[in-house]
Structure 1
Amino acid sequence: MDSLVVGSAGAELSIEERNLLSVAYKNVIGSLRAAWRIVSSIEQKEEGRKNDDHVALVKDYRSKVETELTQLCARILKLIGDYLIPSAVSGESKVFYLKMKGDYHRYLAEFKVTGERKEAAEETMLAYKAAQTLVKSNKAHSYVRLNKVFYYYEILNASEKACSMAKQAFEEAIAELDTLGEESYKDSTLIMQLLRDNLTLWTSDMQDQIDEA
């Protein structure tokens, strides 16, 4: 897929090509992100058990996963910045790629530390804000809004802000339902479900933290 983008001579990808590229990277990155979460959890448990030999092995594996994640994110971000956004003609395509850009910077911010994490977090917000200024369709707006909520919760650790944004996004989505066509209606209800499920989970976690304090 990379060669298709680079060899397109500045031509905009078709919707099918664009979706194939997005899914291809999302599947690989998704597996690595899941692996990183599992390994990080194991590392914390082994550290708690003072099992230094196991900790060293797990840290080494985590480092390899992070290297792969860094390389893959850098590769797709280069494609987006150098080829996909410059060649995008329609506003929809630009929003799609800006959302992708924000997503992959967010994935970097999940495991980077100090200055690199700060930079990735800032790039995430810049991309999402740029996408929101161009959004025309309800579907695109909903996905950008959803990912922005995750950004506040997972990257900034701003749980109250994320819950407030999720609640507002849910209420706005309800208000828009009557104006949507069948396909957009299905997309919107799916996003509403994700917002509601996460809002319930996050609110419960926040209450548990208050009870434990």
Structure 2
Amino acid sequence: MLAQREKQIYLARLAEQAERYDEMADHMRHVVEAGGELTPEEGQMLSVAYKNKVGIQRAAWRVVDATMQKETEVGHLEEASYAAEYKKQAMFAGVRTCEEVLRMLETDLLPNATHQETRVFYLKMRADYYRYIAEFHPEISECREKAQWASQEAYAACQEGLSPTHPIRLGMCLSQAAFHCEILGQTSAAVQMGKKALDEALTQIDDVPEEHYKDVVLIMSVLRDNLALWTTDMQSC
């Protein structure tokens, strides 16, 4: 018979295959709460589960927000009020998910991280989920400030401990640039950060280990696409 931890991991894998990410997140939360340091694979499973769960919630919030604005613009005030209430529900659900991840990071994952790469991985997660909360609460400056603090902490840790072509460092550079563009409205700073990360990575692209190469190429491609979009936005202003 499988031990409880192994059972939860097995069920999380099944939930991932079935694309039932709410359940996958619950199973991985039980693994975290059991104590001890997660393996790199388990950390990735936790990240996948919650990234997909909150991704659906963020998308729902954006759809309802756009609908509310559209109803307001055409003078459908009653419908806009219904959409506003629904938007609150979507926001509360998303924030609850983010706060759940942040609690695990602060109480279990970061204190138990014994390797620099693992610690940076969790710092990046923390920065991402503070950024998501800032997306849900664009009107609250404290949320932006916490997101900026977490982003700076993770970015500094990446710069110190990981090579420019490490997937975690590249992913953090992408997140940092996106934060400056989407949350702070600093598109020029986002472009500078993105270009710097790409230039540094390109100088060492031939030295990327085979097991990281696919991830590195994918992140660099996303970064290039975002840079093109941000540059176009700057030119159109």
Residue of structure 2 equivalent to 1:84: 109
Residue of structure 1 equivalent to 2:171: 143
Of residues 204, 208, 229, the one that matches 1:176 is: 204
**What number of residue pairs does the alignment pair up?**
207
Residue of structure 1 equivalent to 2:12: none
- Using the alignment, how far apart are the partners of 1:86 and 1:133 within structure 2? 21
Which amino acid is 1:6 matched to? Answer: E
Residue of structure 1 equivalent to 2:140: 114
Unaligned runs of 5+ in 2: 1-27
Of residues 154, 158, 162, the one that matches 1:132 is: 158
Greater displacement, 56-65 / 200-209: 200-209
Which amino acid is 1:98 matched to? Answer: L
Greater displacement, 184-193 / 24-33: 184-193
- Using the alignment, how far apart are the partners of 2:29 and 2:156 within structure 1? 24
Whether the aligned pair in 1 keeps the contact of 2:155 and 2:176 (CA below 8 Å) is no
Residue of structure 1 equivalent to 2:99: 74
Q: Deviations over 1:91-140 (max 9, x none)?
A: 11101111100000010111212233333333332442353255324222
Greater displacement, 101-110 / 38-47: 38-47
TM-score, normalised to structure 2, is 0.82
How far has the Cα of 1:42 moved from its partner? 1.3
Residue of structure 2 equivalent to 1:164: 192
Identity across the alignment (%): 38
Of residues 198, 207, 210, the one that matches 2:235 is: 207
Whether the aligned pair in 2 keeps the contact of 1:102 and 1:125 (CA below 8 Å) is yes
| SS class of match (1:157) | coil
TM-score, normalised to structure 1, is 0.90
How far has the Cα of 1:183 moved from its partner? 2.8
Unaligned runs of 5+ in 1: none
Deviating 4+ runs (over 6 angstroms): none
